[in-house]
Structure 1
Amino acid sequence: MKKLALLCIIICCAMHNGSAQTTAVNLTDIKFTVTEAPEWSALLKRDKGWFGGDGIYTIPLNGMEGRQANPNDKVLFIFSDSMIGQIKDGAMQPGYKMIHNAVAILDGNKPLGNKIKFYWDTDAKGQAESLFIPKTPQTDSVDYYWLGDGFVNENNHATYIFGYRVRNVSSGAFGFREVGNTLIKIPAGSKPPFRNLTQMDTHLYLLDEKADIGSFGAGVYVNTKGAGAPKPDGYIYTYGVRGMAKNLMVARVLPADFENMRKWTFWDGANWVNDIARAANITDGVSNELSVSALPDGRYALVFQHGGMSTTVGMRIGASPVGPFGPIIKLWDCKPDLIEKTFVVYNAKAHPSLSAPGELIISYNINSVEFIKDLNVHPNLYRPRFIRVKFE
């Protein structure tokens, strides 16, 4: 149980629709309690089929991004790298396979094991295969997808998911590199394995002279009345992250124009502009996956893993969907999860469709730098864990 009550009111500029309005906004003072959410963590602790993954985002299929799903709603879970196979007697069984992405659909809003079903594709030999495989004009044959955030567009009821084209490389610290940004479009009513989806390359990818990468899709905030946003302006806000400093950028577009890259605009710190190269850094120290959510008091919660990969689940309070954002508020220390020195924690984010009024259910991922070695000892390590933050 933790509480924070930092009593400091600051004067800042709340940026709405590209204009600056001077207003008193408290970006540092918030009261909350935080506990584990073991029922949600247990939902993804599985021994057969999908038994591990990261990259978790949740998309309410009714498009109501701004509130908890109802018992008769469906929520789409999307994962990046995922383990498919079986765990028996505390050990992975032969025949397991890692694929690059998968999904699950939860019926309702409760973490009930009999209400969630996982989906992936199969190859010609009947082996597990990624559900989404890059097939765009800019795709190389060796590229694969990790998934960004997504949402259901109220204009055409299609589900859009950001796809990061990733390629294994021999240089660099991690052995992989993002090489492009795409949109995956799933028509309304389509069911896994989504045979009628379409894919399109975007210009939402940046590479500077220092080889620092920037890409959009780390988080989506749908600020429309139809999505249940409390202060709707009609726009979809998409967040990007760039560089080792994990700088945050933001773009916006109307739902009807989402596929039209010429209609996208980027916040340059003062105005909305069409040139992605002028996108401003609106804060730093975030993670490559994150969330922006409306708080009950009218402010906004930016939730992330501090610095991308650390033991701190952090939050910055924002005056608007584009900031300004206050200092980092520590929500949770993940150190107790690191039972091996090789374990790492990353990519925290909130899930409003899983969250009751006045709270945020937040996930973070656990992985290992000695992946298969540690999985052989701890076969359930590679899965999201959840916490519950209640605002007072």
Structure 2
Amino acid sequence: MFRRTMALCAAVTASFAVAGPAAAADRPLRIVGATADTALTQRWQDFGRRSGVGWAAADGTYSTRLPSGLDVWLFNDTFFGPVRPDDSLAESSPFTHNSAVLSTPDAKHLLTTIAPGPRAHPRSLVGPTPVSPGEPNDYWYWNGDGIVDGGKLRVIEFEQQPTDDPPPFNFAWTGTKLATLDPYTFRLEKLTDVPAAGGVQWGTELMRDGGWTWIYGVEGDGPTKYLHLARAPIGRLDGPWQFRTDQGWSADPASSARLLGNVGSSFGVTPVGGEYLLTTFDSGLTDTIHAYHAHTPDGPFTGGETVYTAPEAGNGRYTYNVAAHPEISRPGELVISYNTNSEQLSDLYADIDRNRPRFVDLKLAR
């Protein structure tokens, strides 16, 4: 159990309003540059190497602002230290299926790891804790996106079960839950079911805009994945949702329409300058991040220009899972992240930095 955070940080809301909606129609938003944010990437490397913080590396990398003014970063499969000077990790090190980290609003100070249980034996924030990465549970949860709604921290949880496929892809999605947590203690209060009709994993992205929480989902476990959209009134994310269909909105999740093809398993959708910017890898494991533009949250999304190529991909390593971080972005820019991993678990133990997030700054203009 974690004590209530006493330090209150001023919430810094980054503005991307480089032009209003009318100007957006005349002069579409352009991405005029994309550079690796080496300072932010280094900050997470240093945090993972710091003695006593617990978190050593993880994937997922969703973030949201809390009522305290701090930011919470939601991670999935998480390796815990201590990390050796050469960035290697003992194979007996603790491991959980999900965790979180607190930071100041500008992410310049990474504060503490959130994982229930004693430091030597951390547990998953939600769901069961594995014995080791190579010994999966009968089921487990990976975090989707999270958002504060109705005074609570709501986090999408993707239920997984092991399969007979060869590692590292020996798992399958079996359902989705909405976790409700206290935003100060991070105590799990309840898990509720999320619709799964149509094979859509809802909650890859949660975006608050115009009186609604927009809930983006992904359909497909084959070579092509498709974007879907639902919505709920702000403050009622745990209530009935409406689903975007070919004709409008419906209470039936099975009627949800495919809005865009060839998206990644995780992506960001950000309101910026009177538009909505979607950043994503292609479906499958690729090294190129693309950007799509829309004038409404439900599209149509157009463009798809390549904005960044991840240099880590190749030679047994892969890159995946784009997430957007508007709460730490400066005006005229958008910070995004992606994850890196290895096809061999032993590669991560030899160099755990191969599993830490990477960050990119997109420069925006009219």
- After TM superposition, the score normalised by the length of structure 2 is 0.83
Q: Is 1:341 aligned with 2:315?
A: yes
Q: CA deviation at 1:32?
A: 1.7
Q: Is 1:177 aligned with 2:158?
A: no
Q: Is 1:301 aligned with 2:289?
A: no
Matched residue of 2:102: which SS? strand
Q: Is 1:354 aligned with 2:328?
A: yes
Q: CA deviation at 1:215?
A: 1.1
Q: CA deviation at 1:172?
A: 7.7
Q: Which sits farther off after the overlay, 89-98 or 34-43?
A: 89-98
Q: CA deviation at 1:108?
A: 2.8
Equivalent position of 2:55 in the other structure: 50
Q: CA deviation at 1:378?
A: 2.1
Q: CA deviation at 1:75?
A: 0.3
Equivalent position of 1:92 in the other structure: 89
Q: Is 1:330 aligned with 2:306?
A: yes
Paired letter, 1:99:
T
Q: Contact conserved, 2:78 with 2:96, CA < 8 A, in 1?
A: yes
Paired letter, 2:41:
S
Q: CA deviation at 1:134?
A: 6.3
Following the alignment from structure 1 to structure 2, what is the Cα–Cα distance between the partners of residues 350 and 295? 12
Q: Is 1:387 aligned with 2:323?
A: no
Q: Contact conserved, 1:27 with 1:326, CA < 8 A, in 2?
A: no
CA deviations on 1:207-243 (whole Å, 9 max, x unpaired) are 5xxxxx42100001111xxxxxxxx2x1111001011
Following the alignment from structure 2 to structure 1, what is the Cα–Cα distance between the partners of residues 27 and 225? 20
Q: CA deviation at 1:121?
A: 2.3
Q: Contact conserved, 1:134 with 1:165, CA < 8 A, in 2?
A: no
- After TM superposition, the score normalised by the length of structure 1 is 0.78
Q: Is 1:60 aligned with 2:44?
A: no
Q: Is 1:249 aligned with 2:228?
A: yes
Paired letter, 2:300:
P
Paired letter, 2:146:
G
Equivalent position of 1:268 in the other structure: 245
Equivalent position of 2:16 in the other structure: none
Q: 2:156 aligns with which of 140, 162, 165?
A: 162
Q: Which runs of 5+ in 1 are unaligned?
A: 1-22, 63-71, 136-140, 208-212, 224-231
Q: 1:314 aligns with which of 272, 282, 290?
A: 290
Q: Is 1:130 aligned with 2:106?
A: no
Following the alignment from structure 1 to structure 2, what is the Cα–Cα distance between the partners of residues 220 and 78? 13
Q: 1:377 aligns with which of 331, 344, 350?
A: 350
Q: Percent of pairs identical after alignment?
A: 24
Equivalent position of 1:32 in the other structure: 32
Following the alignment from structure 2 to structure 1, what is the Cα–Cα distance between the partners of residues 319 and 31? 25
Paired letter, 1:348:
V
CA deviations on 1:269-296 (whole Å, 9 max, x unpaired) are 2310111111010001111211110122
Following the alignment from structure 2 to structure 1, what is the Cα–Cα distance between the partners of residues 73 and 284? 21
Matched residue of 2:40: which SS? helix
Q: Which runs of 5+ in 2 are unaligned?
A: 1-22, 130-136
Paired letter, 2:44:
L
RMSD of Structure 2 on Structure 1 (CA): 2.4
Following the alignment from structure 2 to structure 1, what is the Cα–Cα distance between the partners of residues 272 and 174? 35
Q: CA deviation at 1:27?
A: 9.7
Paired letter, 1:181:
T
Q: CA deviation at 1:122?
A: 2.9
Q: Contact conserved, 1:27 with 1:319, CA < 8 A, in 2?
A: no
**Measured at CA, do residues 300 and 61 of structure 1 come closer, stay the same or move farther in structure 2, by a change above 3 Å?**
same
Q: CA deviation at 1:357?
A: 1.4
Following the alignment from structure 2 to structure 1, what is the Cα–Cα distance between the partners of residues 41 and 266? 18
Q: Which sits farther off after the overlay, 30-39 or 177-186?
A: 30-39
Following the alignment from structure 1 to structure 2, what is the Cα–Cα distance between the partners of residues 363 and 30? 19
Q: Contact conserved, 2:31 with 2:362, CA < 8 A, in 1?
A: no
**Measured at CA, do residues 308 and 27 of structure 1 come closer, stay the same or move farther in structure 2, by a change above 3 Å?**
farther
Q: Contact conserved, 2:94 with 2:120, CA < 8 A, in 1?
A: no
**After the TM superposition, which segments of 4 or more aligned residues of structure 1 sit over 3 Å from their partners?**
23-29
Q: Is 1:214 aligned with 2:193?
A: no
Following the alignment from structure 1 to structure 2, what is the Cα–Cα distance between the partners of residues 346 and 27? 31
Equivalent position of 1:200 in the other structure: 192
Higher relative contact order (CA 8 A, sep 6+): 2
CA deviations on 1:9-53 (whole Å, 9 max, x unpaired) are xxxxxxxxxxxxxx9947976242111111111121122421110
Q: Is 1:238 aligned with 2:211?
A: no
